[in-house]
A and B are shown apart, each in its own frame.
Chain A
Amino acid sequence: MTTIRKLISAWMLALVGSLLLPLMSVAAVSGTTYDAPPTITTASLNIAQRTVAVDTFEHGESGIWSMASGQARSLFGLSQILVAPGRGASVWSTDPLVRGRVIEGAVTKQYEAQGWFALDDLTRAKNWPLVDFQKGNTLVSLKSVDTTGSTWLTRMQEHIRDLGTRGATVGDNPANMVLDLRVQPGGTGAASSLVPLGERYGVTVNISEFP
């Protein structure tokens, strides 16, 4: 009985949270003041079938400012509000799912500004399940990893072999396959072994720090 009561409470909390999240996002963005004018990038997250606005800041520290009081995460198909890092916290201290989406949102802006085509979920699912951006004959898969973790290297090695094994063509021509890997400040050295591995499988691995 206690368990059922707890589940109902969690569901109620999630329901209220899901209704409040969009309002909190808007309120936080409009009500925040800054020492220096940052560039605000808004990324749309689709978490547990719910779209949530997340803002990140170029120049200086990144964080989920608009969600200062919570992050969204799926729990038994419902949304749960978790404690998020406070103002000024690095994006690298957030939940990996949220972090990935935040970085993808910011990096997408960089690519789009240079005339790249960002492949949306629908296109990606149909044609290039591993690819995020396309320009001419070049296809880019974007990943972000915290190299202080323990499993990222094996996952990235597998991802490179996935990209090489699946391959892709643009207009019947073999594509230039690129893995754009964003790591935490100071993390490029740990990931450098992926560069020669990528060369072997026909994947150019470009490693850089975020932000």
Chain B
Amino acid sequence: MIEAVFAFDAPTAEMAAKLVVGGFGDGLGAGDVLLSGRSVDAKRLFQEVRSRGHFDIECRERKTTFGGVRNFNHSLLMFENYPVPAALDLLGKLNQEGFLILARIYDDQYEHWQNAKDPLLFQVAGRSMDALPMKSNGLPPPLKKVIVDISGNPGRRVLRDGYVEAVGHKMWLGPEFFRRVPGASREAVLASRWLNVTERPDGIFELVVQEESFVDDTTADLQNRLRRLLFPTTADEG
């Protein structure tokens, strides 16, 4: 999976949908594009996307979802079953106004369990929570309950104001990343010899930590090190 984080409403859902659908070329026939599982024509699709401000588009077995996280001042664009070059091409086009904050590739299963807090998820999968740290979810009754404390997990994903704190074995950082993330430094990233860093012509930094996705805790040290480099003021907060 590829997750891209943009500034809220930049691009708009409609702009993103037009680029996603346009990326499939002119040969699309009736029924090729599904919006939230329904076949719709292009005109209706863009009308609905404009009105909702988010979308879930499937075309030729590739799935793209877009939605805002207004309370945390950013938007998400997710690619499923997408070849990385095709996704990067779209990200480059969407970044023309410079609002890409970050993008990363992650392993879906690893991400799921590293961020699973609700006991329901463990119950459904038949997994034990016995060895896991627990804490209150902090909500008032009747919503109050004990959940798994994931704050020490190297693969945790944390919503922050203006961005998402998370790492991946391959990442792309837009210029906006360094404006939004407290303490983040272009110089520090470029100086990190343990990373393969390339600065693209469009100003996006491409980071390659290793060739394979993070899939378990054997790479915990590497993940934590990357987190401390990119998110120096919050990485140790959990």
Residues of A within 8 A of B (CB): 110-111, 114-116, 135-136, 138, 140, 154, 157-158, 161-162, 164-169, 174-178, 180, 188-189, 192, 195-196, 199-202, 204-207
Contacts and interface: CB of A to CB of B under 8 A. Distances in A.
Contact of A165 (B52, B56, B124, B145): B52
24 contacts: A114-B142, A136-B140, A158-B36, A162-B52, A164-B70, A165-B13, A165-B53, A165-B54, A167-B70, A174-B71, A188-B120, A189-B120, A189-B124, A192-B124, A195-B118, A196-B112, A196-B115, A196-B116, A199-B117, A201-B68, A201-B69, A201-B76, A202-B159, A205-B118
Given A158-B36, A162-B54, A165-B53, A207 B68 contact: no
B130 to A, nearest CB: 20
B71 A168 contact: yes
Given A136-B140, A158-B36, A204-B139, A167 B68 contact: yes
Closest 9 pairs (CB-CB, A-B): A167-B70, A165-B68, A174-B71, A161-B67, A161-B54, A167-B71, A189-B124, A165-B53, A192-B124
A138 B76 contact: no
B143 interface: yes
B56 A138 contact: no
A89 B146 CA distance: 33
B24 interface: no
Given A161-B54, A189-B120, A201-B67, 4 more contacts: A135-B140, A165-B53, A178-B139, A192-B118
A144 to B, nearest CB: 15
A58 to B, nearest CB: 13
A206 B72 CA distance: 20
Interface in B59-105: 65, 67-72, 76
A120 B92 CA distance: 45
Contact of A192 (B36, B65, B121, B137): B121
A68 B54 CA distance: 42
A174 B142 CA distance: 21
Interface string B129-170: 000000001011111010000000000010100000000000
Contacts of B53: 165-166
Contacts of A161: 52, 54, 56, 65, 67-68
Contacts of A167: 68-71
Contacts of B31: none
B36 to A, nearest CB: 5
Nearest to B74: A202
B140 A138 contact: yes
B29 interface: no
Nearest to B164: A200
A169 B69 CA distance: 13
B201 interface: no
Nearest to B139: A138
Contacts of B71: 164, 167-169, 174-175, 177, 202
Contacts of A157: 36, 56
Contacts of A168: 71
A110 B142 CA distance: 7
B25 interface: no
A110 to B, nearest CB: 5
A164 B68 contact: yes
B69 A206 contact: no
Contacts of A154: 36-37, 56
Interface string B12-55: 01000000000000000000000011000000000000001110
A164 B115 contact: no
Contacts of B124: 188-189, 192
Q: From B116, B120, B145, name the one whose CB has the most chain A CB atoms within 10 angstroms.
A: B120
